[in-house]
Structure formats: structure tokens, C-alpha cells
């Protein structure tokens, strides 16, 4: 495997993604990781990521000097290259002008790093500092009109640096460079794919858990479903799943849990209908954050009660994904809380259990692939994200059982029409919101004064940013007229045309 040391670049995760697409296994570690810790992973090579700092800044992030004595091949990208140059006796100049964007690099001589590439490359630059003089052993491998050291290499030590970013799509042959580094220079032979990952994960879970029991809060979303299916494959009935129905689910959600997980997969699954207690506690609560807190707390309470009935359990399964893991080690500080999303975050600490997190090395689309490998149906794998607090944050204002029912009906119609028109899979997330306002309408010959439904449909890669979907007018029209005709208490439908930022995806 390849270890990527993270110096804070916005592209660090992309390096990992590209390598994994090339079937090279890799892991991102903080820049300050000591060599011994790196060695424990048995890496074939190191990549030093880019970063926002200048190597001249007093507090610029630096790796332990011992990595240069490790004997491992190293590829420094952008800031990583400047570090390599500076740590190895070369000179890096701070430049006031940042070079940013497209450039053409010309290859000089031959080197395995560029095997199989054309002599001129389109590359993506994004840097402030510039290498001025190279230390002993380095040769220039590529130049651009403004960067005499666009790529450098010391083929004896197997140290390389590129001033541009091979990991971004704007460097079209970048994946070949990364592949050459991993396969030719580091000699990394192992092919990392889902089938192999699955077998290994099953072995790891068995080893970690032994003959003990594992508890899992199954929500039916992609992550917990895949985690549960995987652990079930490893330890069968020793996995105990609990699905807490808070009464804020979409139509059909509960029935699906039963059909797919209990009957289909044969999971040890308890479905607990706790809707009464959730809805009672939410009565007259309009503030979104209070709703989230109440739901989070009640969830833990109900879950703990159900778990107690199962006797002593040592392990708790969690569907933690790789981006969560990296965020918690990244060089950036924690970002501001816009919404308190992770409402089951308090579980492990309170329950004093050891964690089983079999997805902690995977990105979201890899989790989906693993789910397919495990035989989970597309209706689970391809579903849109659904927030933990469910419809409570889509019934704006205070939540009543009637309002939840109205919203469920409208949402169901929208989902059905999107699926029938082949749009569901093209959209990251689509849902209906029940607005706490009434407006006047006319139906038949009578005046109506009823609620409005807002439709929200967004495209996104990760939920951090999003754009609204340009749904065809006739499809919007069909959804609108079906909702107004079929759902009692709704006489108007509006479409949300806001991106994130400035709006968030959910309305609360
Ligand atoms: P926002 O509304 O912050 O949503 O743009 C980004 C993504 O997060 C989901 N979301 C939540 N998920 N608990 C969750 O588990 C929450 O409280 C919560 N709030 C928002 C939202 O559906 C979108 O996918």
C-alpha cells in the first residue's frame, strides 16, 4: 500500500480516490505521523500531498525528517515537492504571484514516472512557492514555460516531485503518473478491489469479534445497511440489529426493512415501533435544533432499552466512512456547526462498547460497490440520503401526526413520478417539505385555504455543496397536480430553486 501524508490540500482525498481507482490500496495519514507508525502499515511508498502553506512560513506543516532516511520511494506533489527540495538541500523561493490553472509541460529525458505518456502534458498548477535550485541527485523531468522544475526526480533514491496536481481531472494523464509511481517505482503489485476487500473484511471482523456479540443500529440507509450485511456475512446470528421506528419515516420504509433485511437476508433484526414517544416529545416544538436534540436523545434512550434486553454485548457496529475518519485527523481545524447532524454520535461512549467499523477505509461509492458485492438490492444501494431525524425536519414548525401523514403522501407521489420518469437515479436527493403556511385556492367551485408543499431536488457529490435540478416542466406539472388532487389539505406546490450555499439542502 501507499501512505499519503496530508499537508492540508483540498485535493488530498482525490489522490486516494485516484489510487484506489487504479486498484492501488492507500491510506491518508496526518503529516506529523512518525515513521514507526507509517512502517506499521508496511507501505511500498509515500506521497506527500499539496497544502495551502508556504514552506517558508514559520508554522508550515513538516513531516518527521526521518522519512527521508526510510528508504521508501517518495512522490511530493506541489507543497510536498517543495518540502522534498528544501529538506534535501535545495532552495525554494517564495513568490508573490501564485501560478494557478492550466499549463503545458514538456518532458525532459526519460523516466519510469512518465512511461507511456506523451511528450507534452496538459497539467493543472496551483502553487505560490517555486523551486529555484535542486539538491544533489535531482534531475529535471519536465518544464513548463513558467516553471523550470515542473517535475523532478532522483531515480537512485526514488524520490520524485511534481509541481502540478496529477490527481485532478484537469491533468488528463495524471492517473498514469500515479500508476507509474505505485506500480513501477514502488513496485506495489497488490490489486485492491471489492472482492478482495470483502474477503479480508470478513476475516478481520471474525478476528476482532471472536465469539462475542455485535449490536448494530440499523437505519436502512446505505452505510448501516452495508455494514450490517457485511458483519452478518462474517458472524451470522451473532449480529443483533435494532431498527428504531421514530414515526418520521417515509411511506414504505418500515415495510422495506422487514422485507429486505429480516425476510430476505435473515438478519437478527428487532423493529421497534417507538413513534408514540417520539411524536409526544415533539409536540409543539418548532425549533429545528431542539427537534434534532429531542430525537437524538430519545433515539439513544429507546435503543439502549432495546439493547439491554439482549443481554451483555461487547461490540457496537458503526457505518463510519473514510471521509469522517480523515476529517478527524486532518490538519484543518473543525468547521463550524451549521446543523447538529450526527444524532447517534453519543451512542458508543454511553454504552461503553468497543467499535466495529468495517467501512472506515471506504468512500461512499466504494460502500455502494461493496453493497452490490454483498447482494443488497438496488433499492437499498441506490437510495437517496435520508436524514436521521427524518420527516421531523421536513414538516416545518411543529410536528403533528397528521402533518407527517400529509407529507408522507406528497413525498410518495413525488418519488413515484421521479422513478417512473427515470429521474430518480439522476438526482442526489429529492424530497417534499410541508410548509407551515396556508394559502387560498379554488377547487371545484369552492374556496380552499390549505397548506403548501415545497419540492426540493438537488444534485451533489457529497452533500457539502449542491445545485438545484432542472427538472422538465411537464414532470414538475404532473407531480404538482397529482399532489394537489390526491393529498388532502394541500392546495399548492412550489419548487425550490436554490443552491447550497447559500441555502442548505434540508429546509431545517
Ligand atoms: P444540509 O441540509 O446541511 O444537508 O445541506 C446535507 C446533507 O445532510 C443531511 N442532513 C442530515 N442527516 N441528520 C442526518 O443524519 C441530520 O440532522 C441531518 N440534517 C441534514 C441532508 O439530508 C443532506 O443529505
Going from the N-terminus, what domains does the chain have, and what CATH number goes with each? 2-185 (3.40.50.880), 194-381 (3.40.50.620), 394-495 (3.30.300.10)
Looking at the chain, how many residues does it have? 508
Task: Give CA–CA dist 127/92, Å, rounded.
Answer: 12
pLDDT digits (tens, 9 = 90+) for 366-421: 999 999 999 999 999 999 999 999 999 999 999 999 999 999 999 999 999 999 99
Q: Which of 26, 88, 127, 165 is catalytic?
A: 165
Atom of ligand 1 nearest to the CA of 464: 6
Convert the pLDDT of each residue in 109-166 to its tens digit: 899 999 999 999 999 988 778 888 898 899 999 999 888 899 999 999 999 999 999 9
Catalytic status, residue 167 = yes
389 Cβ inside 6 Å of ligand 1: yes
Report in angstroms the alpha-carbon separations of 266 from 206, 233, 269, 273. 19, 11, 8, 20
The values of phi and psi at residue 491, to 5°, are -125, 10
CA 186 – ligand 1 centroid, Å = 41
What tens digit of pLDDT does each residue of 416-442 get?
999 999 999 999 999 999 999 999 999
User: Alpha-carbon dihedral of residues 466, 432, 347, 319, nearest 10 degrees?
Assistant: -50
- The ligand 1 atom at the shortest distance from the C-alpha of residue 386 is 22
Task: Return the pLDDT at 339.
Answer: 54
Ligand 1 atom nearest the C-alpha of 428 is 24
339 lines ligand 1 (CB under 6 A): yes
Report how far ligand 1's centroid is from the alpha carbon of 167 (Å). 29
For ligand 1, say whether the CB of 387 is within 6 Å of any of its atoms.
Answer: yes
Q: Tell me the C-alpha distance between 6 and 360, whole Å.
A: 17
CB 490 within 8 A of CB 378: no
Q: Is residue 504 lining ligand 1, measured as CB closer than 6 Å?
A: yes
Compute, in degrees rounded to 10, the torsion defined by CA atoms 182, 367, 350, 266. -140
From the CB of 256, is ligand 1 less than 6 Å away?
Answer: no
Name the pLDDT band for 364 (thresholds 50, 70, 90): confident
Q: CA 450 from chain center: how many Å?
A: 39
Is pLDDT of 342 > 80? no
- Which atom from ligand 1 is nearest to the alpha carbon of 500? 5
Ligand 1 in contact with 385 (CB < 6 A)?
A: yes
- Cβ(148) – ligand 1 distance below 6 Å: no
* CB contact set of 444 (below 8 Å; sequence gap of 6+): none
Q: Which three cell numbers stand for residue 387?
A: 436524514
Average pLDDT, the chain: 92
Task: Assess whether 78 carries a catalytic annotation.
Answer: yes
Q: Tell me, in angstroms, the distance from the centre of ligand 1 to residue 289's CA.
A: 12
Report the pLDDT value the prediction gives residue 132, as an integer from 0 to 100. Answer: 84
**Rounded to an integer, what is the distance from CA 65 to the centroid of its chain?**
32
Sign of the alpha-carbon dihedral angle for 444, 449, 451, 457: positive
Amino acid at each position: 500500500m501507499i501512505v499519503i501524508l496530508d499537508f492540508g490540500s483540498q485535493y488530498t482525498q482525490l489522490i486516494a480516490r485516484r489510487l484506489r481507482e487504479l486498484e492501488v490500496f492507500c491510506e491518508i495519514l496526518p503529516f506529523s505521523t512518525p515513521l514507526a507508525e507509517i512502517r506499521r502499515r508496511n507501505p511500498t511508498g509515500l506521497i506527500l500531498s499539496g497544502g495551502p502553506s508556504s514552506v517558508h512560513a514559520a508554522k508550515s506543516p513538516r513531516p518527521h525528517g526521518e522519512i527521508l532516511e526510510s528508504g521508501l520511494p517518495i512522490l511530493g506533489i506541489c507543497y510536498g515537492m517543495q518540502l522534498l527540495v528544501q529538506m534535501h538541500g535545495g532552495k525554494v523561493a517564495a513568490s508573490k504571484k501564485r501560478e494557478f490553472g492550466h499549463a503545458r509541460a514538456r518532458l525532459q529525458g526519460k523516466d519510469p514516472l512518465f512511461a507511456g505518456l506523451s511528450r507534452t502534458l496538459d497539467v493543472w498548477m496551483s502553487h505560490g512557492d517555486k523551486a529555484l535550485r535542486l539538491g544533489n541527485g535531482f534531475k529535471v523531468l519536465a518544464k513548463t514555460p513558467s516553471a523550470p522544475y515542473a517535475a523532478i526526480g532522483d531515480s537512485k533514491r526514488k524520490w520524485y516531485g511534481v509541481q502540478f496536481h496529477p490527481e485532478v481531472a484537469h491533468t488528463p494523464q495524471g492517473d498514469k503518473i500515479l500508476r507509474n509511481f505505485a506500480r513501477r517505482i514502488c513496485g506495489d503489485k497488490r490489486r485492491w478491489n471489492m472482492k478482495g476487500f470483502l474477503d479480508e473484511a470478513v476475516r478481520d471482523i471474525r478476528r476482532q469479534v471472536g465469539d462475542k456479540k455485535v449490536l448494530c443500529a440499523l437505519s436502512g440507509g446505505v452505510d448501516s445497511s452495508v455494514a450490517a450485511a457485511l458483519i452478518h456475512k462474517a458472524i451470522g446470528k451473532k449480529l443483533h440489529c435494532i431498527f428504531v421506528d421514530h414515526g418520521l419515516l417515509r411511506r414504505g420504509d418500515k415495510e422495506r426493512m422487514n422485507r429486505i433485511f429480516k425476510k430476505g437476508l435473515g438478519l437478527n433484526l428487532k423493529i421497534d415501533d417507538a413513534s408514540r414517544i417520539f411524536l409526544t416529545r415533539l409536540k409543539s416544538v418548532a425549533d429545528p435544533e431542539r427537534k434534532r436534540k429531542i430525537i437524538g436523545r430519545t433515539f439513544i434512550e429507546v435503543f439502549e432499552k432495546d439493547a439491554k434486553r439482549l443481554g451483555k454485548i461487547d461490540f457496537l457496529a458503526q457505518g463510519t466512512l473514510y471521509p469522517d475518519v480523515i476529517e478527524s485527523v486532518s490538519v484543518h481545524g473543525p468547521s463550524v456547526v451549521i446543523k447538529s447532524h450526527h444524532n447517534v454520535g453519543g451512542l458508543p461512549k454511553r454504552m461503553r462498547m468497543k467499535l466495529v467499523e468495517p467501512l472506515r477505509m471506504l468512500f461512499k461509492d466504494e460502500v455502494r460497490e461493496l453493497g452490490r458485492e454483498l447482494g443488497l438490492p438496488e433499492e437499498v444501494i441506490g437510495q437517496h440520503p435520508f436524514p436521521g431525524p427524518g420527516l421531523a425536519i421536513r414538516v416545518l414548525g411543529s410536528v403533528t401526526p397528521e402533518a407527517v401523514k400529509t407529507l408522507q403522501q406528497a413525498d410518495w407521489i413525488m418519488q413515484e413520478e421521479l422513478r417512473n420518469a427515470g429521474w430518480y437515479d439522476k438526482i442526489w436527493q429529492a424530497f417534499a417539505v410541508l410548509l407551515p403556511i396556508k394559502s387560498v385556492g379554488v377547487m371545484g367551485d369552492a374556496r380552499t385555504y390549505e397548506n403548501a408543499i415545497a419540492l426540493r431536488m438537488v444534485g451533489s457529490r457529497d452533500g457539502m455543496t449542491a445545485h438545484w435540478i432542472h427538472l422538465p416542466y411537464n414532470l414538475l406539472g404532473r407531480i404538482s397536480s397529482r399532489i394537489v388532487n390526491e393529498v388532502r389539505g394541500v392546495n399548492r406546490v412550489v419548487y425550490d430553486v436554490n443552491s447550497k450555499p447559500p441555502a442548505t439542502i434540508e429546509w431545517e
